[in-house]
């Protein structure tokens, strides 16, 4: 590792916070990653354009390596690093900082645009069931509330990290009535809800939705009860590498999130698995709501091609200048 391409401590801290889930949720991770790239660019001490490019790519790799499932992270890195351009360090720096700013603006605009579209599905008096904490899903509820609709929510706790508590808090701030339930109570409450509304970490070319573990079981149960399943996902959740047959890696997390060491020892020899996400096949999803409109999952591939083309470059990878 050469000193000239050393990474800024703030970028390292952002990467650690993403890995530790202090910064979490696909859209929030993307926003934090581009901000870190901009800090790296602004604070870089290198005076050679080649070294600057190498340092930015290294910064991208460091962020990329934090969590594998949410494609918003590599898509955010792509957005900024693909726009890194110039013959001098000053020009390169400016290109990175301005691309990062542009990305952040688009991220927030996309979320509010998709919120308006998702809100059209929600009627006054409806009840939604949520899983995990998705800012895209909450944007739909917020827009509906802004339109004067009164909504209620059944909020799944979402083991093991209980992101449902964050959702419950946000929904209460919006004035939505909240009933918090444990995950295993979901089926019992499905008869009382009008929509299942979730977010996504990645959407594959065949329309499969990758989201917090438990989403697929919820979707299967909701389909059986005739409750529509709506996925709120900005287009940065579209996974371009699945166009060429790649699969989405499901993150496996520490067993300590599931069971404490003492209890584990009391039980004796056992394996503890902690997958953070699962895959919901397109046949269990009614609609994917994006900032570009609402899509049946099977048609999302058209939008994916339009936005990403056939190839998904990896501009953070090491290469010869």
Among residues 12, 6, 89, the alpha carbon closest in space to that of 55 is found at 6
Which phi and psi angles does 249 have, rounded to 5°?
Answer: -75, 130
CB 55 within 8 A of CB 16: no
| Alpha-carbon span 137 to 123, nearest angstrom | 15
Contacting residues toward ligand RUB, per CB under 6 A: 21, 24-28, 70, 132, 134-137, 163, 199-201, 211-212, 276
Catalytic residue among 113, 132, 136, 286: 132
251 DSSP 8-state letter: P
Nearer of residues 23 and 92 to ligand RUB, judged by Cβ: 23
CB of 264 to ligand RUB, least distance (A): 22
Report the residue closest to ligand RUB, judged by CB: 199
Catalytic residue among 113, 126, 136, 201: 201
Respond yes or no on whether the N-terminal peptide bond of residue 160 is cis (omega within 30° of 0). yes
Nearer of residues 5 and 274 to ligand RUB, judged by Cβ: 274
CB 75 within 8 A of CB 236: yes
CB 34 within 8 A of CB 101: no
Among residues 23, 69, 65, the alpha carbon closest in space to that of 278 is found at 69
Nearer of residues 269 and 273 to ligand RUB, judged by Cβ: 273
| Alpha-carbon span 33 to 252, nearest angstrom | 21
Would you call 183 a catalytic residue per the annotation? no
CB of 87 to ligand RUB, least distance (A): 37
CB of 224 to ligand RUB, least distance (A): 22
Would you call 132 a catalytic residue per the annotation? yes
Nearer of residues 7 and 26 to ligand RUB, judged by Cβ: 26
CB of 217 to ligand RUB, least distance (A): 14
Active-site residue list: 132, 201
């Amino acid at each position: 590792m050469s000193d000239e391409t050393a990474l800024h401590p703030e970028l390292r801290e952002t990467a650690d916070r993403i890995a530790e889930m202090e910064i979490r949720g696909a859209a929030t991770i993307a926003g934090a990653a581009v901000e870190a790239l901009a800090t790296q660019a602004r604070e870089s001490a290198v005076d050679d354009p080649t070294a600057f490019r190498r340092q930015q790519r290294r910064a991208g790799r460091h962020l990329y390596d934090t969590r594998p499932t949410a494609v918003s992270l590599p898509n955010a890195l792509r957005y900024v690093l693909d726009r890194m351009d110039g013959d001098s360090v000053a020009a390169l720096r400016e290109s990175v900082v301005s691309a990062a700013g542009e990305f952040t603006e688009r991220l927030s605009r996309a979320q509010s645009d998709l919120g308006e579209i998702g809100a059209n599905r929600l009627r006054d008096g409806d009840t939604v069931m949520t899983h995990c904490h998705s800012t895209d899903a909450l944007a739909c509820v917020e827009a509906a509330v802004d339109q004067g609709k009164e909504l209620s929510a059944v909020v799944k706790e979402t083991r093991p990290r209980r992101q449902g508590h964050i959702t419950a808090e946000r929904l209460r701030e919006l004035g939505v009535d909240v009933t918090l339930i444990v995950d295993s109570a979901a089926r019992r409450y499905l008869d009382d809800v009008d929509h299942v509304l979730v977010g996504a970490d990645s959407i594959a070319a065949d329309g499969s939705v990758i989201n917090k573990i438990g989403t697929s079981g919820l979707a299967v149960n909701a389909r059986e009860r005739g409750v529509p399943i709506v996925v709120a996902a900005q287009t940065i959740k579209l996974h371009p590498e699945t166009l060429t047959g790649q699969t989405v890696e499901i993150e496996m997390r520490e067993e300590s999130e599931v069971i404490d060491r003492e209890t584990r020892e009391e039980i004796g020899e056992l394996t503890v698995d902690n997958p953070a996400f699962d895959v919901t096949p397109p046949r269990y999803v009614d609609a994917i709501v994006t900032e570009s409109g609402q899509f049946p999952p099977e048609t999302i591939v058209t939008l994916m091609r339009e936005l990403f083309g056939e190839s998904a470059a990896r501009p953070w990878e090491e290469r010869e200048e």
